[in-house]
Amino acid sequence: MPSYEPDFRLDGYEAVNNTVAEQFWQRIGIEQDDMTVLAEHHSADGEHSFFVMHNRAVTWGIPGEPQIAALHLKRAPATHTFRFASEMLPLPSMAQSWLIARGCPEEDILLPDDMGTAPANDATRALEKRLRSDGDHFALLTSYTGDSEPMETTVLLRALDEKAALPYRVLLEEVDSDAWTHTLREGGFQTFEAATEWWEAHWGGDEPPLPAAAPAARRSTAAAPGMPARPAAPRGPSR
């Protein structure tokens, strides 16, 4: 994967206050040298910048933590100050969804063809596209990113629509490190217990099938994608 440090275009700008300055340093600045820009978009007026980044520093911390950073910078040219919002998410498509919900055009935050692994099939492409558009239908319960062989990421979501037939969703991304491609699949569960039973079996070394999941109905009131929620599923593999 190409590696280059992001340019946040903040020359001449300062954080709007000390609290924002400290938060930006803690969440972004301190690990900026370890971040690789996967996709970025800057508004024509210079007031907004959107980034999808891979944070290599995460691999040195708690195993399984999300490695994809979504960053929205908001500048005030008149005062030369900035604010920001950021979120760590397990999949690029979820980071894209988070940014799209904050005003970034979808077509401008897609990953270039040579950045990261390529989708292995049309089903993966279709699911990633749907995640970019309906991420505000779900709350993120937990995830686990395994960056050793086999490289896998599992994500547990809960539908915000209380009437959803299958309110719990599991996403499973598997990377083929030889072909440098990835597949993404989705499974639906009626209960939290059923979803975590699958989760534990999968990370325990079994290969339980993912039950089919139909797309959730759109809510009239959207919540921000990546919203934390409880309860949380088991975090790590035992295999």
Q: What angle do CA 1, 90, 96 make, to 5 degrees?
A: 80
pLDDT digits (tens, 9 = 90+) for 155-167: 999 999 989 999 9
Residue whose token pair is 């988070």: 98
pLDDT confidence band for 114 (50 / 70 / 90): confident
The structure's pTM equals 0.88
Distance CA 13, CA 183 (A): 41
Output the pLDDT for position 147.
84
Which residues, listed in sequence order, are joined to residue 41 by a DSSP beta bridge?
50
Distance between CA 80 and CA 77 in Å, rounded?
5
Across residues 3-14, what is the average pLDDT? 90
pLDDT of 186? 96
Taking residues 177-199, report their average pLDDT. 95
pLDDT at 220 over 90: no
Task: Check residue 156 and give its pLDDT.
Answer: 97
At how many degrees (to 10) do helices 122-134 and 92-100 cross?
Answer: 30
Vertex 50, ends 43 and 21: CA angle to 5°?
105
Q: Give 116-162 pLDDT, tens digit per residue.
A: 899 999 999 999 999 999 877 899 999 999 988 889 999 999 999 98
Domain ranges of the chain: 1-114, 117-239
How far is Cα 43 from Cα 13, in angstroms, rounded to an integer? 17
